[in-house]
Each structure stands twice: as C-alpha cells, then as structure tokens.
Structure 1
Amino acid sequence: MVHELPIVVRDLNHWFGSGDARKQAVFDVSLSVKRGSLTILMGPSGSGKTTVLTLMGCLRDVQEGSVTLLGEELNGASEQRQVMLRRKLGFIFQAHNLHDSLTAQQNVLMGLQVHGKGDNEVQRRAADHMLDLVGLADRRTYLPGNLSGGQKQRVAIARALVSGPQIVFADEPTAALDKQSGQTVVEMLQALGQQRGTTTLMVTHDNRILDLADRIVTLEDGRIVSDTAPV
C-alpha cells in the first residue's frame, strides 16, 4: 500500500528519567513527511532531533502524542507490530555497527537475510550491486578491520538500502565521509526517492549537503523552530 504521507507526527512529547530527575526532551512536535522526500532535521546538540528520529523509527516507545508510520499508529503498538514495521525501514547510524568477523559483502547481505528476500544468488548480486553503487566493488571481500572509517560507513549505508526500504532513517550518515562521498550518498538517497518513492529522514550537522534536501526542519530545546516546507 502506498502512503502519500508515510510519517505523520502529532503533538509528540517525550521525557527521559523518572521522579525528580524526569526531564522533558521533546515538546509538542507535529510534522508530516511526504513520500519520496528527503527531509533533514537540524539543530544544536541536545535539541531533541535524534530523539524525534528514533521515536518516528519505532526505536523508542511513544509516550505521549501520535506517530503514524506507514499508516500504523505507534503509540500503544505491540512489540511484534513494531518489529514488523521495522522490516520496512532502513537505518543508517553514525556508528556503523558492522560485524567485524564478516566481509563487506556479508555485512550487506545481512540487510537482505533479515527480510528473507530472494535466494542466495539473487541476494549476493544485490549486495554486490549496492557495494558498487557506494564505490566499494573492489572491497567486498574485506573485513571491517581493513577498511577506513569512511569505507565502513559506506558499507553500512549499502546494508541499509539493499532491501529497498520504504523509509530510511539516517543519523549523521555523512559524518565520517569526505565531501564527495557524502554528496554521493545523499544523491543516492535522492534518486531512491525519485525512482522508488523511498522517503528519507536525516539528522545532520553537515552544511555541505543542505542544498540537496527537499526540506529542512530545525529543532531547538525539543521544539520545532523553523520548517522550510511545511506540509
């Protein structure tokens, strides 16, 4: 099913801690994201942007407010339901989270095997194609210990995209990349939006890629303070 608004957030609030140490981190955030768009969340450290991203990506439980992801309400959703939804998503984190004992190709294959898509040969070809797209065709048999930080991040990006997710959540995906590599990755995400309708929500401090975004949402102290293209 195609959702023209794959992410709809309404009156989202979130707290950390308990008792006297309980502190509100997100205040009344409302946001709708169009299918196929590339939206960047910006703001200083501690502004709540990563918290908002993880709430939308069903990596944290919604405490108050509404998050509708691909037509499903996350507030009160069972763990089983959230697991099913995560299989339709791709995640790219600043920490690449690669398995050190697996080659680049095997790490990317994990992004397909968790979904059970295709037989072994189809999966291998898909993994090799993604590694080629991120410029690592000649590194597919390398272990992470033999790759640079930027190369590891590109493997992680290939793993996140290889299953053709409907939504990609990315937290500082270009932080470990040089300007050209970072631009190439963001252009790939743009192309996926145009060709497949993949929606990307990205947290970044990288000013070099802002002109590639369809929309920039800025948070400060847990609140949206500016939005270049409200829906």
Structure 2
Amino acid sequence: MADDDISIRTSGLNHWFGTGEARKQALFDIGLRIARGSFIVMVGPSGSGKTTLLTLLGCLREVQEGSVVLLGQELRHATTAQSVRLRRRLGFIFQAHNLHESLTARQNVMMGLQVKGRLNRETADEAAAHVLSILGLSDRLDYLPANLSGGQNQRVAIGRALVGNPDVVLADEPTAALDWETAAKVVDLLKQLGQARGTTTVMVTHDNRILDRADRILTLQDGRLVADDSRRV
C-alpha cells in the first residue's frame, strides 16, 4: 500500500503502565498498516491491550516508545495543538455512551459538531436529525437520555461520533448494548462510509456476530499482536 492509502501506521509500539517495581508492559512491538476506508476489528481476551492500543491510535494517550502515524501525522512528541487538530478528524464510540444528561438526543449529536468547530445551528440541527434517522431514532430526537433505553442511548453516542464525517472512527464495544438488527445496521453504516468517503473504522469487540463483516481481524493476546487475518483486504 502506498502511504496515501494508509490511515494508520505503527511500528515498534510499546506501552507501559505504572512506575518503578509496579511498572508493567501492556503492549509489545505492535506493527500495523491500516488502509484508508477499511473496517478493522480487534479481538482478544480482556486485558490483552485492545483498548490501550485504541486510545494510543486516537491521541488519548502519549506514545511512549515506537511510532504511531495517524492521517500522516507522527504522534510521538506531537504538540498539544497537533493532537487537538487530529482528534477533530476522529469519531470516538465508547461502550459507556457518556451522553450529557441535560441535553436531548439531537443536542447530544450536535455536540459532535461543536467539538470539531463546525457549529452552524441550522445545518447542525439538520445533520443531527439525519444521522439519528438513519439509526432508527427519528421519533426520539427530543428525548433526554433518562427517557431512552440503553441501546437507544448507545445509538445516540454512535450518531454523535459519525455526524462530523470523521476520517477515522475508533470504537470500543459499540454494539454491546444493541440487538442484532441494530448492530448490523451500525456496522453496515460504518462500512458504507468506508466505501463512499474513505472513512477508516477500528473497532474493539467481543461481539462475534460482526466478525464476518470485517475486512480484517486483528487478534491481541497479552499485549502482543498474535494474528492478523487480512484475507479480505
């Protein structure tokens, strides 16, 4: 793959938690090349380093050793301003939806545009309503999180991540609270974004239902990349 076709590249990536005698290595020599527009799934047992790797790719942790190049920018020793600019090009979906309890579904999704510095009230309102409609929530636009189910709140969080048309989506267990029909719809939407505009998705999951939809499956164990099924790429 040419560099222009790569969204994420890592080499020699190591990471530790703690200090002194309590210092423990969490990732070991992770090397990856992730193609633009691909739908990548990361699997492995709890504690294998999946979420740690995801947060490093998303500029949410400092790169300690090795290299992470995200959308052409080296993250090791990146300035705060560089990291902020990159995060504005990303969409994050976490298992805990982290919605603002005082804001409606529509307003929570609009926040996804505000943090990217793209808030024209009218167009943001339309964009939020559109993405929530795609996710099956057109009749819940003005509901507060307390009046939505767990699965509906997760869909709002997914809409918040996608509304700004991110270049890369980083998702940690996004389908855990969803029924299969809704989970399949979310995965298909992410794949459509990859095909239509080159959005790259990296998803951590224990949800075996979606593995056959992945372009590539990465398996982590004890902080090491032990398998890379790239047959579909």
Q: TM-score, normalised by structure 1?
A: 0.97
* Separation (CA, whole Å) in 2 of partners of 1:17 and 1:115: 32
* Separation (CA, whole Å) in 1 of partners of 2:69 and 2:229: 22
User: Which residue is equivalent to 1:79?
Assistant: 80
* Separation (CA, whole Å) in 1 of partners of 2:6 and 2:118: 26
* Separation (CA, whole Å) in 1 of partners of 2:87 and 2:98: 17
User: Which residue is equivalent to 1:98?
Assistant: 99
1:176 paired with 2:177, answer yes
1:99-144 deviation per Cα after TM superposition (whole angstroms, max 9, x unaligned): 0000000000001122232521111110000000000000000000
One-letter code of the match for 2:173?
E
User: Which residue is equivalent to 1:36?
Assistant: 37
* 1:29-178 pair list within 5 angstroms: 29-117=30-118, 119-178=120-179
* Separation (CA, whole Å) in 2 of partners of 1:28 and 1:93: 25
1:148-169 deviation per Cα after TM superposition (whole angstroms, max 9, x unaligned): 0000000000000000000000
User: Which residue is equivalent to 1:20?
Assistant: 21
One-letter code of the match for 1:109?
M
User: Which residue is equivalent to 2:215?
Assistant: 214
Percent identity over paired residues: 63
One-letter code of the match for 1:132?
S
Q: Secondary structure at the match of 2:139?
A: helix
Q: Give, in angstroms, the shift of residue 187 of structure 1.
A: 0.5
Number of equivalent positions: 230
One-letter code of the match for 2:96?
A
* Separation (CA, whole Å) in 2 of partners of 1:108 and 1:93: 14
Structure 1: gaps of 5 or more residues: none
Q: Secondary structure at the match of 1:52?
A: helix
Two-structure CA RMSD over aligned residues (Å): 1.2
* Separation (CA, whole Å) in 1 of partners of 2:4 and 2:165: 16
Q: Secondary structure at the match of 2:11?
A: strand
Q: Secondary structure at the match of 2:106?
A: helix
Q: Secondary structure at the match of 1:91?
A: strand
* Separation (CA, whole Å) in 2 of partners of 1:143 and 1:4: 40
Q: Secondary structure at the match of 2:166?
A: coil
* Separation (CA, whole Å) in 2 of partners of 1:63 and 1:193: 30
Q: Secondary structure at the match of 2:5?
A: coil
Q: Give, in angstroms, the shift of residue 22 of structure 1.
A: 0.1
1:200-226 deviation per Cα after TM superposition (whole angstroms, max 9, x unaligned): 000000000001100000000000110
One-letter code of the match for 1:197?
G
Distance 1:3 1:161, change over 3 A: farther
* Separation (CA, whole Å) in 2 of partners of 1:116 and 1:130: 18
1:31-75 deviation per Cα after TM superposition (whole angstroms, max 9, x unaligned): 010000000010000000110111011100000000000000000
* Separation (CA, whole Å) in 2 of partners of 1:116 and 1:19: 41
Q: Give, in angstroms, the shift of residue 171 of structure 1.
A: 0.2
User: Which residue is equivalent to 2:226?
Assistant: 225
